[in-house]
């Protein structure tokens, strides 16, 4: 009898991320605290951690740290809305110091949102939280939602953490265009991989993710400039490796690699992963 795959479906990747947040939270020098992560990951998340190869485990908390920092920075700038696409088991509305009147929208598949709703039933979010169960692959439902949120927001921050790498290039391009169509969607934070990193991850994790029908796909050779034709321009580009080195989260070999110079744009064949903060580009007919 064959063993079930470690990752059964794309929603299992949310449990995979949650267990890494739990591990970070339990460190004495934690970069962030997510007291809900272990509960949200559950036994299934712990099983995934045991069964998946320990490839780049240092990168998970770095990604969370960079997204947290961007969210808090945007709130200080006066952003009144956060839209988290493919929110998974993220608990930022419960754990970050956010204004009570901030509007936070979690968008994901109905099953994973219902699971989170049940697990956090006894907890109270810090801000105004609404969960929106839709399949983001459904472009009609997605655009209808974006119009509704765009009309209600004054300045919205879009999060796509752990989403884009699972999409085809054309699907990412379409999503970027749909987001840019809403004038109040001012900033977008996303993670990005180089083609070199994509190939490395496909070699180490590819078979297990293919079994779950959740393969890594998106890694544009042009880097953040991929999004410029859709109306998004890079404001900040943070290398995961360089950030991890600054935070002293790398072993000796990786620290040596972090000393090599990097570009904030096209990465080519070298393995590179980063978190990019994009701002809405100025419209031809006036300011963004």
More confident residue, 271 or 75: 75
pLDDT score for 261: 83
pTM of the predicted model as reported, rounded to 2 decimal places: 0.94
pLDDT score for 2: 56
How far is the C-alpha of 214 from the C-alpha of 220, rounded, in Å? 18
The residue whose two tokens read 């998946």 is 52
> Is residue 1 pLDDT above 60, yes or no?
no
Cβ neighbours of residue 244 closer than 8 Å, sequence gap 6 or more = 58, 59, 62, 250, 254, 258
CB atoms within 10 A of CB 83: 25
Domain boundaries along the sequence of the chain: 12-280
> Is residue 13 pLDDT above 80, yes or no?
yes
Domain covering 12-280: architecture: 3-Layer(aba) Sandwich (3.40)
CB 25 within 8 A of CB 32: yes
The per-residue pLDDT for range 162-220, each reduced to its tens digit, is 999 999 999 999 999 999 999 999 999 999 999 999 988 888 776 666 665 668 899 99
Distance from chain centroid for Cα 27? 22
């Amino acid at each position: 009898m064959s063993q079930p795959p470690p990752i059964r479906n794309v929603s299992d990747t949310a449990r995979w991320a949650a267990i890494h947040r739990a591990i970070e939270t339990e460190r004495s020098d934690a970069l962030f605290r997510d007291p809900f992560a272990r509960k949200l990951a559950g036994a299934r998340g712990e099983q995934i951690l045991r069964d998946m190869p320990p490839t780049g485990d240092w990168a998970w908390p770095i990604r969370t740290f960079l997204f947290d920092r961007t969210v808090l920075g945007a709130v200080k700038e006066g952003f009144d809305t956060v839209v988290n696409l493919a929110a998974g088991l993220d608990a930022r509305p419960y754990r970050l110091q956010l204004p009570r009147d901030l509007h936070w929208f979690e968008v994901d598949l109905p099953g994973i949102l219902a699971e989170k709703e049940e697990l956090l039933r006894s907890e109270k979010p810090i801000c105004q939280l609404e969960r929106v169960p839709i399949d983001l692959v459904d472009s009609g439902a997605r655009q209808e939602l974006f119009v509704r949120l765009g009309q209600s927001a004054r300045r919205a921050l879009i999060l796509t953490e752990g989403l884009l790498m699972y999409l085809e290039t054309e699907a990412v391009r379409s999503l970027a265009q749909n987001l840019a169509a809403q004038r109040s969607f001012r900033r977008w934070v996303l993670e990005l991989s180089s083609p070199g990193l994509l190939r490395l991850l496909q070699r180490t994790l590819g078979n297990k993710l293919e079994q779950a029908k959740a393969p890594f796909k998106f890694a544009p050779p042009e880097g953040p400039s991929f999004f410029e034709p859709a109306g998004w321009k890079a404001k900040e580009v943070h290398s995961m490796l360089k950030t991890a080195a600054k935070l002293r989260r790398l072993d000796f070999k990786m620290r040596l690699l972090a000393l090599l110079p990097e570009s904030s744009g096209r990465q080519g064949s070298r393995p590179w992963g980063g978190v990019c903060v994009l701002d809405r580009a100025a419209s031809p007919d006036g300011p963004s």
